Structures are given as structure tokens and as C-alpha cells.
Amino acid sequence: MSRPVLFERHVANPILTASDWPYPVNTVFNPGATVGPDGETVLLVRVEDRSGVSHFGVARSQDGYTRWKIEPEPVFTPERDGTHETWGVEDPRITKVGDRYLIAYTAFSSGGPLVALAETRDFRTFERLGPVMVPEDKDAALFPTKFGDRWALIHRPVISPATRVVGHIWLSYSPDLLHWGEHRVVIPARSGAHWDAEKVGIGPPPLEIPEGWLVLFHGVKVTAAGGVYRVGTALLDRNDPLRLLGRSDEWVFGPLTEYERSGDVPDVVFPTGWILEDDGDTLRVYYGAADTCVAVATTRVSTLLEHMAETCACGTRHELDDGCPCTVEPKASQSGSVT
């Protein structure tokens, strides 16, 4: 019996490609997404130029699917002066806080990828807050609200090939967006044959819903043909986001179409932005496909919650507000490390 379709791809996919860009580029993918100051959909798109280095461009649309207006020039170019953006800026996630748009992105330093923050109010001028995590660390997103007087950031320290420790999703707190600590694993990668056994990373910033914080995350499985990037969903406690309330055992979205299965990096769906429609249920999920183009799919909050309740990764059926055994930080032997 096949599962119901959880994500509906838009008929206009891929919605943005390199050939839409007003200047020559290699690829456009992994966009941050938000509602702009004028109510339009704004995508902050990772644009890889033909030297291989990425910057950010902006595309705007009234309906979020069609008639994209693309800024004629890059809006955020890496500062390539030997500091933390030497090899580009990648994979922005946008968190709207009042009229501020806070952006967590990967800065590719000569010492490896790290997490940096910037902010804008109009997507024309940007202020850098600077690097906040040392290499190797990427896939970061800020929560839109504070917990007490502390900001919270989700991020993913990168795996170390030497120790074979897999890549878990971590959560850290800060009083001022600059100084981060209290680092803890919040969503561990699984082990063995699982679709999310190699590493996991946050998708769009967590979304606050009555049940908690809804999360999409990517998971990677390494096969003889390379890595396959798929997407799972999780729910974190609203007041204590380190408490995992549920996590889908199965992926909810994976590469299927030609534009997802073939490109610069085949078999990748990589969501980095989502927008909740006014009905409070429908979600537009923006994602990079095969590290080559931008696509959009819709799903529903209710669908993801139902799916998680039915197929929680802890292997038990449980109410989401009971908390989940998946929350247990994996022991070294479970995480694939060599002892």
C-alpha cells in the first residue's frame, strides 16, 4: 500500500533556474524564504557563480509561485578579504523578528564552513553580525522568539571523518546573538541503514504552532552512488525546544523528479524556507533541487503532525505531547563512532 502524498510539487517547478538569472551564473538553489515588507514573497537565493563561489540574490513574487522579479545585481556578496567568507556565502535561512529579518548562513572560510549571522529590513542593505560558530558548522537557523532572555540557534557541526562521528543537529543559546553556549544535541542522526543515518541538518527555521515548534530537517544516507538528501519532520516542545516530542521514522519528502534527481549534485531535495498561508495550515516549502535550481512544494501542518504521530522514529505510537524516547542523546556506539 502506498503512503498518501505528503508534499505536492508545484506545476511550475522548477520555479527558478540559472537561465532566469539576469547575469551569467552556474546554479541557483537553497533559498531562504519570507514575506517581505510589502507582503510579497521574498526568496534570498544562493547563487553559485561560474568560479564556484556563492553569493545571495533576491527574487520576489506576489503569489509565491510565478512571475518572479529577480534583482539585476547580487544583494549580498562575500567579503573575500581573507576572513570568514573567503570562499563564499551559502544556504541562508531567514527568521522574521518584528520588522527585522535575521539571516543565518554558511560562510565558507579558508578554515572550513562556519555559521554567520546578518540582518536586513529591506533585502537591499544588510548588516553583518559576524561569525558565531567555528568551522566546521553549517545548516543554522534562529528561532523567532526568545526563551526567557536568550536567543536560540539550531546548527550542525560537521562530521569528522577521522572519528566517524555522524552529524547531529545541535541547539545553542545566546543573550545577545553573538555569544553562544549551552550547546546540546536536539535531533541526533540515526545509525545503520536509516535514511537519516549519516547526518541531519535543519531545513527552514522552526515554525511555532500550538503543539510546539514544527521542524523540517534533511537527512543523508550514503550509498555506493553517493549521498541521498531527503526530508523528515520533527516537533520540539514550545517552552523547552531541547525536548523532542516526535520525529518521523520515514522521510516525508525525497528526490523523485528529473530536476531533483539530476544536476550538479544528484538526488538532493534541500528545503531552506517555508511560508505559512493565512489558513494557518498550508505551508509553501521552498527547496534547492540537485544543488541546481529552486522548487516549491506544499504540505500541511496537520498532515505532518498526523504523519509523525503514526510513524514516530522511536518505534512506538504515542501522543506527541507525551515526549518521545527519540529525545535521548545517542551513545557513541549508536552514532556509528569507532571506539
What phi and psi values does residue 325 have, to the nearest 5 degrees? -60, -15
Question: Minimum distance between the CB of residue 289 and ligand BMA, rounded to whole angstroms?
Answer: 10
Residue span binding ligand BMA (CB under 6 A) among the ranges 179-187, 244-252, 262-270, 297-305: 262-270
Assigned C-alpha cell, 122: 529591506
Q: In whole angstroms, give the CA distance from residue 64 to residue 46.
A: 17
Question: Minimum distance between the CB of residue 267 and ligand BMA, rounded to whole angstroms?
Answer: 9
Contact between residue 138 and residue 91 where contact means Cβ atoms under 8 Å apart:
yes
Residue span binding ligand BMA (CB under 6 A) among the ranges 66-74, 114-122, 265-273, 330-338: 265-273
The yes or no reply on residue 137 touching ligand BMA (CB under 6 A) is no
**Residues 86-115 as x/- pattern, contact with ligand BMA by CB under 6 A:** ----xx------------------------
Q: In whole angstroms, give the CA distance from residue 334 to residue 210.
A: 33
Question: Minimum distance between the CB of residue 189 and ligand BMA, rounded to whole angstroms?
Answer: 13
Q: Among residues 264, 312, 245, which one has the least CA distance to residue 54?
A: 264
Residue span binding ligand BMA (CB under 6 A) among the ranges 16-24, 184-192, 231-239, 264-272: 264-272
Indicate the SS3 state at residue 245: strand
**Residue 228 belongs to what H/E stretch?**
strand 226-236
Contact between residue 115 and residue 104 where contact means Cβ atoms under 8 Å apart:
yes
Q: In whole angstroms, give the CA distance from residue 307 to residue 273.
A: 21
Q: Which residue is nearest to ligand BMA (CB)?
A: 265
Question: Minimum distance between the CB of residue 234 and ligand BMA, rounded to whole angstroms?
Answer: 19
Widest distance between CA atoms in the chain: 56
The yes or no reply on residue 229 touching ligand BMA (CB under 6 A) is yes
178-207 residues in contact with ligand BMA (CB under 6 A) are none
Q: Which residues bind ligand BMA (CB under 6 A)?
A: 30, 90-91, 229, 265, 268, 270, 288, 291
